[in-house]
Amino acid sequence: MAYFMVVLLDDSRMEKIKGTDLEKNIKYMFGGELRLLEVEVNEELKDKILAEFETARVDSRGAITDVPVAFMRELFNQVAEKKSLGPEVVEGVLAKVNEIKELAAKESEYLPPPEIETE
């Protein structure tokens, strides 16, 4: 099974990859309402992610999800820095695993909610 991780693209992220070859790989989902990139993950890297982050799981599409937000932010940083979607991106993220875990420990206590009306 091929595994991957999804990097969602909002406007500020779009700015950072503007003019690179990555733009050719942008996918649109749900009637064009979502823009994203898919980063390739091999079996070995998938196992490493699942071993390092206990909330991580593989969903029905083969996507690795439920990793800390810090992981996802670094994933985008690596994509933008390496201008690639290959396995070296996740390798780059895992090289910073301790730093990510430190950040994740804080974010497991609190994440700022979006400012929308709820009542």
Partner 1 sequence: MSRLLIERPLPHGGRLVERVIEDKKVAQKLWKSCKTTYEIKPTLHYETGVPVRNVYREIMSICYGFFSPVEGSMKQAEVERILKERRLLSEWIFPYPLIFDISKDDLNKLGVEVGDRLGLTLKGKPFAILDIEEIYEIDPEELAFKTFGDPETNPEVVREKFDKKHPGWVIYRSHQPWVLAGKYTIINPPKFKAPFDRFWFPPRKAREEFEKRGWRTVINHQTRNVPHVGHEFLMKCAAFTGDVEPCHGILVNAVIGVKRRGDYPDEAIVEAHEAVNKYGYIKPERHLVSIVLWDMRYGNPLESLLHGIIRQNMGCTHHMFGRDHAAVGEYYDKFATQILWTKGIPSFGFPAPPTDVPYGLLIRPQNMREFSYCPTCKEMAYSETCGHKREKLSGSFLRGMVAEGVQPPSIIMRPEVYKVVVKWWKKFGYPFCNEKYVINKEKELEVELEDL
Strand partners, 37: 7
Does residue number 8 form part of the binding site for partner 1 (CB under 8 A)? yes
Choices 41-49, 78-86, 88-96, 103-111; region in contact with partner 1 by CB under 8 A: 103-111
State the Cα–Cα distance between residues 5 and 118, nearest whole angstrom. 30
Question: Which of 11, 18, 19, 113 touches partner 1 by CB under 8 A?
Answer: 113
**How many residues does this entry show for the chain?**
119
Nearer to partner 1, 36 or 97 (CB): 36
Cβ neighbours, 10 Å, residue 3: 19
CB 75 within 8 A of CB 93: yes
- Residues of this chain that interact with partner 1 (CB under 8 A) are 6, 8, 10, 29-31, 33-34, 54-55, 57-61, 63, 65-67, 69, 72, 108-114, 116-119
